[in-house]
Amino acid sequence: MAETILRLENIRKELGLSKAIRQTIIPNLSLEVKAGEFVAITGPSGSGKSTLLYLMGGLDKPTSGKVWLDGDEITEKNETEMNRIRNEKIGFIYQFHFLLPEFNAVENVSMPMMINGRRTRKEIKERAMQLLDMVDMQNKYTNKPSQLSGGQQQRVAIARALANEPKILLGDEPTGNLDSRSGNIVYQLFDRLNREMNQTIIVVTHDEAFADRAARRIHLVDGKIDRDRLRTSFGELA
């Protein structure tokens, strides 16, 4: 049985709108994700989807409750420790790719490995090219972001997120800025990473077609889990 790679226990998240007023985004949420799962998180705007994703990735801290990643409680880690954990264990993919415009595809994918400092320059360049090959960008090594389509830029961003062999990939609306064809290519890439590399993937999305194809779909309403369904062997969500 697959190990639990991510666990949230009694998570509450509040925002202080003023000294007297606090808004509850997530009232009390517990959740486990197994290694190798492909999870889509859906829900209406304002349901807490992105907040939950940021809590999972240590980009935000809960008001109360605990988060474990790869067996390590990250809730009380300081920012220096979290920077290291995010670099080594988490790959982030956003709606907007945030590629550095002055660098080409190989250089953008190389950045997390340069920060990590565990590979030589030669090893970093070779791995960056291997990752671009994996996302079918083998002919775009020297292209800068301005020379790539939106879908191509997102594929470079996915390659960059995989640079340090993360335990989990977290995607915040990764197809939200793409046309349907490019969005489908990104989904197929995620699906292949999940099936062939057993990559754990958690994606927040408004894309119903994308969400329905994930192996597990969690639907949030008002910061609570309204539905949590697994895909059956017949391809339907149970």
For residue range 134-187, list pLDDT tens digits in order: 888 889 999 999 999 888 998 899 899 999 989 999 998 887 777 788 788 888
Least confident residue range of 57-71, 99-113, 122-136, 167-181: 167-181
Q: How many CB atoms lie within 10 A of CB 141?
A: 16
Domain, as residue range, for 95? 37-65+75-230
Mean pLDDT of the chain: 88
Establish if 116 belongs to a structural domain: yes
Establish if 150 belongs to a structural domain: yes
Establish if 224 belongs to a structural domain: yes
Cα–Cα distance, 171 to 127 (Å, whole number) = 22
Top pLDDT among 237 and 225 is at 225
CATH number for the domain including 189?
3.40.50.300
**Does residue 9 surpass a pLDDT of 80?**
yes
Establish if 106 belongs to a structural domain: yes
Least confident residue range of 35-39, 89-93, 115-119, 157-161: 115-119
What pLDDT, on a 0 to 100 scale, did the predictor assign at position 32?
95
Which band of pLDDT confidence, cut at 50, 70 and 90, is reported for residue 96?
confident
Establish if 25 belongs to a structural domain: no
**Does residue 106 surpass a pLDDT of 90?**
yes
**Does residue 235 surpass a pLDDT of 70?**
no
Establish if 44 belongs to a structural domain: yes
What pLDDT, on a 0 to 100 scale, did the predictor assign at position 167?
92
Establish if 220 belongs to a structural domain: yes
Mean pLDDT of 98-112: 93
pTM over cut 0.85: yes
Angle (nearest 5°) at CA 71 between 55 and 92: 40
What pLDDT, on a 0 to 100 scale, did the predictor assign at position 234?
47
Which band of pLDDT confidence, cut at 50, 70 and 90, is reported for residue 203?
very high
Evaluate whether 31 touches 208 at the Cβ level (below 8 Å).
no
Which band of pLDDT confidence, cut at 50, 70 and 90, is reported for residue 189?
confident
Q: Count how many domains the chain has.
A: 1
Evaluated on CA atoms 169, 49, 41, 97, the torsion sign reads negative
**Does residue 236 surpass a pLDDT of 60?**
no
Closest alpha carbon to 89 in 14, 164, 189, 31 = 164
Tokens coding 62: 């809960």
Establish if 14 belongs to a structural domain: no
Mean pLDDT of 102-111: 94
